[in-house]
Amino acid sequence: MRIGALEAGGTKMVVAIGNGQGEILERLSIPTKTPETTMPELVDYFKSRQIDALGIGCFGPLDLNRESSTYGYITSTPKLPWRNFNIVGTFRDMLKVPVGFDTDVNASAIGEATWGITKDVNNSIYITIGTGVGVGVIIDGKPLHGMLHPEAGHILLARHPKDTFKGCCPYHDNCMEGLAAGPAIEARYGKKAYELTDNEEVWELEGFYIAQALVNYILTLSPQRIVLGGGVMHQEQLMPIIHREVLRMLNGYINTEELRAMEDYIVFPKLNDNQGIMGCIKLAIDEINNTIRRGKRRIDLNE
Amino acid sequence: MRIGALEAGGTKMVVAIGNGQGEILERLSIPTKTPETTMPELVDYFKSRQIDALGIGCFGPLDLNRESSTYGYITSTPKLPWRNFNIVGTFRDMLKVPVGFDTDVNASAIGEATWGITKDVNNSIYITIGTGVGVGVIIDGKPLHGMLHPEAGHILLARHPKDTFKGCCPYHDNCMEGLAAGPAIEARYGKKAYELTDNEEVWELEGFYIAQALVNYILTLSPQRIVLGGGVMHQEQLMPIIHREVLRMLNGYINTEELRAMEDYIVFPKLNDNQGIMGCIKLAIDEINNTIRRGKRRIDLNE
């Protein structure tokens, strides 16, 4: 079983070949240019590896509705050459294999839920805080889509009373991403996050916003565990601030075993930045099973 | 098929007998006192009607985890006589029938999703805005539980810049319930909601908070339709304000067919204040099917 995996990002495409156990046999990355330039490179790569299926975790927004005539398209992205591009259909036509598809952050959530830190729970969320904020949601073991897919990096938050920064989301004055993603930190202080490591005030404010978003996710989605990844979370001093602030803001309103064991509730990822590509492998395996659902056999993860 | 239904509230217990089509054959309500006084009355009622199953939609928080040793308990409620009361176990022991169980607002969500305004979609939310704010969530046709169950009435919101009211939630300075439930309106203006019908400023502010909460639910849960019920929503002049403010706050960031048809996306309930008790009937039917899942037959809703 040779599985192709593609983490499609706005600046780079990470491709990999894996097996049914989620092991990565090889990987490389190429820059993201236009579909005309980049797609043939990707197709050639996967063709030469003779893959049995492909899984894609993609920057969005995406059409994930299988009933829709534009299922498998990247839709209203600001990356103009990719707007309304049929990425699933193109790969399916060129490679003639099943193609699984979800958002990049849902792929990370699936990776951790299949082989990582959330594999023992059915309901979890994976949040990446980097140049943007993405939230992947797993409910009853499956990624949440609904009308579209969660875009919970843009939930509206109350400002910290001392924060005069105007936010840097072009759509919203006071959303999570605009107040707390990497570019917000840089714009607020005129330095990159890694240059501010020793500035406690920076991380107290950042922890305030992250915790406020998590409180809202906890009260809305009731996850059994929350994973925090992405470049901003490389500032590991944030984690104890987040733990403290989440409990302070919830203020005892809900009280569960999980919240009492806060260090095991809000956690770092376990898969060393492979959660996304491993999630893509799982998406490919699920798609094979979808394709042959009425057929003979299911794919054994140990094959 | 005679189904017992119980909407258990902090001030009254609504009981009903229905059939497998969700039709209510009789109903009455009794005041909620202590378990010692109220439970025997309820048991007598259902015993005398010879029901085949009971469904309960209950004030919370509740333990809905079937693996837990306290499954079916009302847990940390401020209604002290009911704290840690095993309501499911008591009915099961006394009535010897299957007992379905969920939160009151999940029952309303289930009622509308089974027989009402959301029966054509798989992912919906039902929000009741009255003395408190409750949010029931249906994902892939099933109520969301997770770690506990959603308590999304308490999500934290940004205050309106002109609102100086301090909020009236004992737990949170700036949560939805504390800023926008009925008691907040009354405390802010010194009058009941129905006495303020003609005061536009009241409903602009109320619409601002409701819309802000809905934006966060939309971005987090991606529902295909949202139902707004409860006493505050009897002020129907709120609905167009909410429609306008949701679109203003989303500001085009997500763009779907559903959002373009806003009047069909955020809607009033359809079941005339019977959605809760009808949802309890569905909970009972589901519990019969759970009980005999490995057995002979499924319950036909038309039986």
Q: Does B157 touch chain A (CB under 8 A)?
A: yes
Average pLDDT over residues A136-150: 97
Residue B295, token pair as written in the block: 């057995």
pLDDT digits (tens, 9 = 90+) for B220-254: 999 999 999 999 999 999 999 999 999 999 999 99
Assign residue B142 the CATH number of its domain. Answer: 3.30.420.40
A93 membership: H or E segment, kind and range: helix A87-95
Q: Is B134 inside any structural domain? A: yes
8 A C-beta contact, residue B106 and residue B60: no
* pLDDT surpassing 80 at residue B294: no
Cβ atoms within 10 Å of B43's Cβ, excluding its own: 15
Whole-complex ipTM:
0.95
Q: Is B154 inside any structural domain? A: yes
Measure the CA–CA gap between B257 and B262, rounded to whole angstroms: 9
Same domain, A211 and A232: yes
Cβ contacts of A278 within 8 Å, gap of 6 or more? A5, A18, A22, A24, A111, A114, A115, A116, A271
Cβ atoms within 10 Å of A146's Cβ, excluding its own: 24
Report chain B residues whose CB lies below 8 A from the CB of A69: none
Contact pairs from chain A to chain B, CB under 8 Å: 132
Q: Is B237 inside any structural domain? A: yes
pLDDT digits (tens, 9 = 90+) for A199-213: 999 999 999 999 999
Same domain, A125 and A82: no
Q: Is A261 inside any structural domain? A: yes
Cα distances from A6 to residues A12, A218, A302, B124, in angstroms, run: 10, 30, 21, 32
Average pLDDT score, chain A: 95
Domain count, chain B: 2
Q: Is A143 helix (H, G, I), strand (E, B) or coil?
A: strand
Q: What is the DSSP string of B90-120?
A: HHHHHH-S-EEEEEHHHHHHHHHHHHSTTTT
- Check CB contact under 8 Å for A174 and B158: yes
Same domain, B257 and B279: no
Query: How confident is residue A302, by pLDDT bands cut at 50, 70 and 90?
Result: low
Same domain, B80 and B191: no
Same domain, B129 and B72: no
Measure the CA–CA gap between B11 and B231, rounded to whole angstroms: 15
- Check CB contact under 8 Å for A253 and B144: no
Among B140, B142, B220, beta carbon nearest to A220? B220
How high is the pLDDT of residue B302? 54
Average pLDDT over residues A234-242: 97
Measure the CA–CA gap between A108 and A105, rounded to whole angstroms: 5
Q: Which of B222, B262, B265 to mutate to test the interface with A (most CBs of A within 10 A)?
A: B222
Window 9-48 of B, Cβ < 8 Å to A: none
Q: Is B303 inside any structural domain? A: no
Same domain, A259 and A289: no
Q: Is B77 inside any structural domain? A: yes
How high is the pLDDT of residue B299? 56
Same domain, B125 and B263: yes
Same domain, B143 and B245: yes
Q: Which of A144, A212, A222, A248 to mutate to test the interface with B (most CBs of B within 10 A)?
A: A222
8 A C-beta contact, residue B99 and residue B72: yes
pLDDT digits (tens, 9 = 90+) for B2-14: 999 999 998 999 9
Same domain, A253 and A193: yes
* pLDDT surpassing 50 at residue A236: yes
Q: Is A239 inside any structural domain? A: yes
Query: How confident is residue A294, by pLDDT bands cut at 50, 70 and 90?
Result: low
How high is the pLDDT of residue B296? 47
Query: How confident is residue B291, by pLDDT bands cut at 50, 70 and 90?
Result: confident
User: How far apart, in Å, do the first and last CA atoms of chain B sit?
Assistant: 7
CA distance B155 to chain A (A): 5
How high is the pLDDT of residue A296? 47
* pLDDT surpassing 90 at residue A293: no
- Check CB contact under 8 Å for A158 and B150: no
Measure the CA–CA gap between A245 and B10, rounded to whole angstroms: 31
SS3 for A153-169 is HHCECCCCCCCCCCCCC
Q: Is A301 inside any structural domain? A: no
Specify the pTM.
Answer: 0.95
Q: Is A6 helix (H, G, I), strand (E, B) or coil?
A: strand
Selected residue with higher pLDDT from A97 and B295: A97
Same domain, B160 and B257: yes
Cα distances from B169 to residues A132, A146, B187, in angstroms, run: 32, 31, 12
- Check CB contact under 8 Å for B222 and A249: no
Q: What is the DSSP string of chain B?
A: --EEEEEE-SSEEEEEEE-TTS-EEEEEEEE---HHHHHHHHHHHHHHTT-SEEEEEE-S-B---TTSTTTTEE-S-SSGGGTTEEHHHHHHHHH-S-EEEEEHHHHHHHHHHHHSTTTT-SSEEEEEESSSEEEEEEETTEE--TTS---GGG-B-PPPTT-------SS-SSBHHHHHSHHHHHHHHSS-GGG-TT-HHHHHHHHHHHHHHHHHHHHHH--SEEEEESGGGG-TTHHHHHHHHHHHHHTTSS--HHHHTHHHHEE--SSTT-HHHHHHHHHHHHHHHHHTTTSS-PPPTT-
Same domain, B254 and B123: yes
Report chain A residues whose CB lies below 8 A from the CB of B140: 139-140, 142
For residue A24, what are the domain limits? 3-106+273-294
- Check CB contact under 8 Å for A221 and B61: no
How high is the pLDDT of residue A292? 80
Query: How confident is residue A301, by pLDDT bands cut at 50, 70 and 90?
Result: low
Q: Does B147 touch chain A (CB under 8 A)?
A: yes
Measure the CA–CA gap between B94 and B116, rounded to whole angstroms: 32
Residue A259, token pair as written in the block: 């919240």
Exposure string over A216-252, b if 16+ CB within 10 A, otherwise e: bbbbbbbbbbbbbbbebbebeebbebbbebbeebbee
How high is the pLDDT of residue B154? 97
pLDDT digits (tens, 9 = 90+) for B11-37: 999 999 999 999 999 999 999 999 999
Q: Is A90 helix (H, G, I), strand (E, B) or coil?
A: helix
Same domain, B261 and B121: yes
